[in-house]
Amino acid sequence: MPQGKPSVVPEDGLTTRQRRNRPLVVVHTGIGKGKSTAAFGLALRAWNQGWPIGVFQFVKSAKWKVGEERALRVLGDSGEGGTVAWHKMGEGWSWVQRDLETSEEAAREGWEQVKRDLAAETYGLYVLDEFAYPMHWGWVDTDEVVAVLRDRPGTQHVVITGRNAPEKLVVAADLVTEMGKVKHPMDVGQKGQKGIEW
């Protein structure tokens, strides 16, 4: 895409502006670090444009105080930019599954809330953080997710993060980035640290 110009212009009857303003489904997947971080970067851009933002955390525990949450809440309450609503459904980190039944129920309830908000056109940007996991584990039906996202009204953008994004979601998405890992401090026994992981 030299100078921001697409390499292909489809014959779809849309103007450049209409095509440019189509709502997107974005997926950040893969084993590398940075999937959620990239999604929250999009949230900052959306906030700057004045869009209402809905963040739905599907796996990270409600007890965890992540830096992005505090920053976006402060921005959302600033009276500048867009508003920010933060919803936590997770019972713990994806690799420390404690009460699977409770986690599954929370994920399903979270998806039901997202569906209600999409139908009501509540937000301009939805960050469905680590939502790939509930689909991968079979807690939420991927076919239903794809259909709901395909049929959502208005100009609502949705970004989904998490490893193992189902192939059907990847195919249906407009933008997919797979984060790869070259090196990670944990490879040499270093645990996560403040300001880097949270």
| Burial status of residue 179 (CB atoms within 10 A of its CB: 0-12, 13-18, 19 or more) | middle
Determine the pLDDT at residue 90.
62
Residue 39 lies in a domain: yes
Rounded CA separation 59/97 (Å): 9
Q: What is the mean pLDDT of the chain?
A: 88
Of 95, 96, 90, 84, the C-alpha closest to 123 is 84
Residue 114 lies in a domain: yes
Backbone angles phi, psi at 28, to 5 degrees: -115, 110
Average pLDDT over residues 158-183: 96
Tokens of 127: 């960050």
Residue 177 lies in a domain: no
Q: What is the CATH number of the domain that holds 75?
A: 3.40.50.300
pLDDT value at 95 more than 60: no
In this structure, of 5-19, 44-58, 141-155, 168-182, the range with the lowest mean pLDDT score is 5-19
Rounded CA separation 110/58 (Å): 7
Average pLDDT over residues 114-138: 97
Residue 194 lies in a domain: no
Its domain, for residue 155, covers 21-172
Determine the pLDDT at residue 19.
80
Tokens of 185: 């401090």
The pTM assigned to this predicted structure is 0.88
Residue 14 lies in a domain: no
Determine the pLDDT at residue 140.
97
Residue 2 lies in a domain: no
Instruction: Give percent above pLDDT 90 in the chain.
Output: 63
In this structure, of 1-10, 87-96, 141-150, 163-172, the range with the lowest mean pLDDT score is 87-96
- Counting the structural domains of the chain, the total is 1
| Burial status of residue 164 (CB atoms within 10 A of its CB: 0-12, 13-18, 19 or more) | middle
Could you give the dihedral angle defined by the CA atoms of residues 129, 132, 60 and 102, in that order, rounded to the nearest 10 degrees?
130
C-beta separation of 72 from 40 below 8 A: yes
Average pLDDT over residues 81-99: 70
Residue 3 lies in a domain: no
Q: What confidence tens digit (pLDDT) does each residue in 1-58 have?
A: 456 777 888 888 888 887 888 999 999 999 999 999 999 999 999 999 999 999 999 9
Tokens of 54: 């809905």
At 70, the pLDDT band (50, 70, 90 cuts) reads confident
pLDDT value at 71 more than 60: yes
Could you give the dihedral angle defined by the CA atoms of residues 172, 24, 124 and 63, in that order, rounded to the nearest 10 degrees?
60
What are the C-alpha distances in Å from 4 to residues 1, 7, 43, 48?
5, 9, 21, 21
Determine the pLDDT at residue 94.
46
Residue 184 lies in a domain: no
pLDDT value at 131 more than 90: yes
Of 58, 25, 21, 30, the C-alpha closest to 171 is 25
